[in-house]
């Protein structure tokens, strides 16, 4: 049994909120540099150069890469031997978001009522928290700020089993094509397959956490990931949708058992910042 | 692909010169506004009431900046997705708005209005928000302070790097660019 103080959770969440917004991931930077080398469009090249220069400025000046510092999505892997003491678990996370978004000069982008009043909550809470109980005595926290532009281009589709893998590929490729410049290409495409309606969407978002360049461990899915990435980069959408060969940096698939009558498929698109940072208590 | 160094306010001649794909370095005054501010402005127009800012000859930048750190004129300030402002843009273009800066393509009604009244749509690089902020020398809230990040701000900018995405002649880099580089 390991005791973890609620205060430690707050402190780590705060650090990760700021880190994720200021510092581009190394894997993402590498994929952007690869894209710059192979991009054929001069406009596309200029945009990729700006994105990389922007990442340097954000890191050196310690400012957010993007003004949309996102909805704070937090993934927790809570070891079943951990005992959280000294405060409420979920409140500790939200307090970490509150402090991180204040001390980090991050934008507060959450409104309370989604439809009518839409009043800003002023502290970027509440976070969306996904907690999974796992074996062991560690608490792993991943903070993945999610911007509105890319999120708005995402979709869950309850397909027919008869639609098959070709139907899935058509759904994903068509989604990216129709999204155009809106999600800030070059994008990362998270694909969820199977599960239930809400599980499928969750899988698509979880897929965005995988380091770019790493494939699904199941060879049948990694083959589809490679095929989708190649086909998406042939669409010509390019950086910011203004035309080019660098439309997606990666396609990540997460699959799960599903109902005999269903074939759920979900696409969660991430922008070229692909923000997520993790820490372990 | 030409390069233009332009300064606000814009004339019809300035707008007609800019063709889809051209590079632009913009200096002068910009106004910022997003969904909420646009709705308020258009509601005022519908009621026949005066606007808090005069849009004639001006450019609106679709942005909700991050809070400025001490000593900065503005926090990170990249473009938001423009299609959300499509329902409002034609009304402001009719009132003399000459330019819009954002990201992502504009719809048909906006383009028709741009062609009829001579306005241009410029793309700023989404996510290059720290870089773009460096071209802002001054920022002050001039209307709707209650909207926080979505307030209308008056910015002074110097050599802000932009691309002509859709021009007043029907040119559209989103369509032309994608067609040019598609291998599908």
Are A172 and A212 found together in one domain?
yes
Are A183 and A122 found together in one domain?
no
Domain that holds residue A87: 2-20+65-146
Are A139 and A6 found together in one domain?
yes
Are A139 and A8 found together in one domain?
yes
Give the per-residue pLDDT at B49. Answer: 95
Contacts with B, A 99-158, CB within 8 Å? 105-109, 118, 120, 122, 148-149, 152
Nearest CB to A243 within list B69, B104, B176: B176
For A207, the 3-state DSSP assignment is helix
Whether A44 maps to a domain, the answer reads no
Phi/psi-derived region of residue A122, left when phi > 0, alpha when psi is between -120 and 50, beta in every other case: left
Are A163 and A229 found together in one domain?
yes
pLDDT digits (tens, 9 = 90+) for A94-112: 999 999 999 999 999 999 9
Nearest CA in chain B to A241: B174
Are A127 and A178 found together in one domain?
no
Min Cα separation A196/chain B (Å): 31
pLDDT at A259 exceeding the cut of 90: yes
Give the per-residue pLDDT at B104. Answer: 94
Give me the active site residues of B, please. 38
Could you please report the per-residue DSSP string of B4-50? EEEESSPPHHHHHH--TT-EEEEEEEEEE--HHHHHHHHHHHHHTPP
Give the per-residue pLDDT at B158. Answer: 98
Name the residue among A45, A2, A30 with its Cα closest to residue A242: A45
Domain that holds residue B149: 3-162
Give the per-residue pLDDT at B33. Answer: 97
Contact criterion met (CB below 8 Å) for A66 and A147: yes
Chain-centre distance for alpha carbon B101: 2
Whether B173 maps to a domain, the answer reads no
CATH number at residue B94: 3.20.130.10
Tell which of A146, A164, A193 closes a domain.
A146
The secondary element (H helix, E strand) that includes residue A3 is: strand A2-5
Whether A55 maps to a domain, the answer reads no
Contacts with B, A 180-239, CB within 8 Å? 180-182, 184, 231, 234-239
pLDDT digits (tens, 9 = 90+) for A237-248: 999 999 999 999
Are A118 and A7 found together in one domain?
yes
Angstrom distance (rounded) from CA B42 to CA B23:
31
pLDDT at B149 exceeding the cut of 90: no
Percent of chain A exceeding pLDDT 90 equals 99
Are A135 and A180 found together in one domain?
no
Are A70 and A204 found together in one domain?
no
Q: Judge whether B174 is closer than 8 Å to chain A, CB to CB.
A: yes
Q: Provide the residue count of chain B.
A: 184
* ipTM of the complex in this document: 0.94
Are A94 and A156 found together in one domain?
no
Mean pLDDT, residues A189-211: 98
pLDDT at A200 exceeding the cut of 90: yes
Whether A42 maps to a domain, the answer reads no
Q: What is the pTM assigned to this prediction?
A: 0.95
pLDDT at A62 exceeding the cut of 90: yes
Mean pLDDT, residues B34-61: 96
Residue numbers in A near B125 (CB within 8 A): 47, 50-51, 54, 239-240
- Give me the sheet containing A155-159, strands edge to edge: A155-159, A263-270, A187-195, A248-258
Total domains in the fold of chain A: 2
Q: Judge whether A48 is closer than 8 Å to chain B, CB to CB.
A: no
The burial of A236, by beta-carbon neighbours within 10 Å (0-12 exposed, 13-18 middle, 19 or more buried), is given as: buried
Give the per-residue pLDDT at A244. Answer: 98
Percent of chain B exceeding pLDDT 90 equals 96
Total domains in the fold of chain B: 1
Tell which of A146, A163, A193 closes a domain.
A146
Are A175 and A241 found together in one domain?
yes
Tell which of A97, A127, A146 closes a domain.
A146
Are A95 and A229 found together in one domain?
no
pLDDT at B184 exceeding the cut of 90: no
Please, what is the average pLDDT of chain B? 96
Angstrom distance (rounded) from CA B16 to CA B115:
10
């Amino acid at each position: 049994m390991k005791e973890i103080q609620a205060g430690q959770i707050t402190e780590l969440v705060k650090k990760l909120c700021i880190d994720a917004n200021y510092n581009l991931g190394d894997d993402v930077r590498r994929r952007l540099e690869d894209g710059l080398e192979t991009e054929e469009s001069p406009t596309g090249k200029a945009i990729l150069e700006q994105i990389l220069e922007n990442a340097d400025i954000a890191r050196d000046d310690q400012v957010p890469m993007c003004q949309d510092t996102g909805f704070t999505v937090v993934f927790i892997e809570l070891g079943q031997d951990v005992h959280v003491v000294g405060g409420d678990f979920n409140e500790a996370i939200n307090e970490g978001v509150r402090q991180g978004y204040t001390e980090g000069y991050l934008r507060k982008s959450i409104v309370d009522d989604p439809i009518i009043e839409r009043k800003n909550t002023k502290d970027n809470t509440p976070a969306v928290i996904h907690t999974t109980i796992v074996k062991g005595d560690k608490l792993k926290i991943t903070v993945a700020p999610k911007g509105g532009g890319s999120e708005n281009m995402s979709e869950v589709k309850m397909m027919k089993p008869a639609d098959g893998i070709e139907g899935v590929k058509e759904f994903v490729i068509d989604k990216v094509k129709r999204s155009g410049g809106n999600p800030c290409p070059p994008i990362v495409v998270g694909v969820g397959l199977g599960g239930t309606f809400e599980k499928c969407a969750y899988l698509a978002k979880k897929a965005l956490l995988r380091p770019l360049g790493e494939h699904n461990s199941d060879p049948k899915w990694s083959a589809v990931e490679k095929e989708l990435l190649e086909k998406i980069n042939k669409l010509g959408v390019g950086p910011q949708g203004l035309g080019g060969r660098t439309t997606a940096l990666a396609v990540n698939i997460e699959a799960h058992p599903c109902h005999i009558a269903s074939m759920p498929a979900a696409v969660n698109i991430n922008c070229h910042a692909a923000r997520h940072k993790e820490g372990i208590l | 692909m030409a390069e233009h160094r332009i300064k606000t306010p814009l004339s019809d001649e300035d707008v007609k010169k800019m063709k889809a794909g051209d590079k632009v370095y913009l200096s002068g005054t910009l106004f910022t506004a997003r969904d909420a501010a646009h709705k308020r402005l258009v509601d005022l127009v519908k009621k026949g009431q005066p606007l808090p800012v005069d849009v004639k000859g001006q450019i609106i930048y679709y942005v909700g900046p991050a809070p400025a750190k001490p000593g900065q004129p503005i926090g990170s300030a990249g473009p938001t997705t423009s299609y959300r402002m499509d329902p409002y843009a034609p009304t402001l273009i009719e009132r003399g708005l000459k330019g819009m800066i954002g990201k992502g393509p504009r719809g048909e009604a906006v383009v028709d209005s741009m062609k009829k009244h001579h306005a241009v749509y410029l793309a700023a690089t989404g996510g290059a928000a720290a870089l773009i902020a460096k071209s802002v020398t001054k920022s002050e809230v001039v209307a709707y302070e209650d909207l926080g990040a979505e307030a209308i701000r008056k910015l002074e900018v110097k050599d802000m790097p932009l691309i002509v995405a859709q021009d007043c002649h029907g040119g559209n880099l989103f369509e032309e660019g994608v067609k040019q580089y598609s291998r599908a």
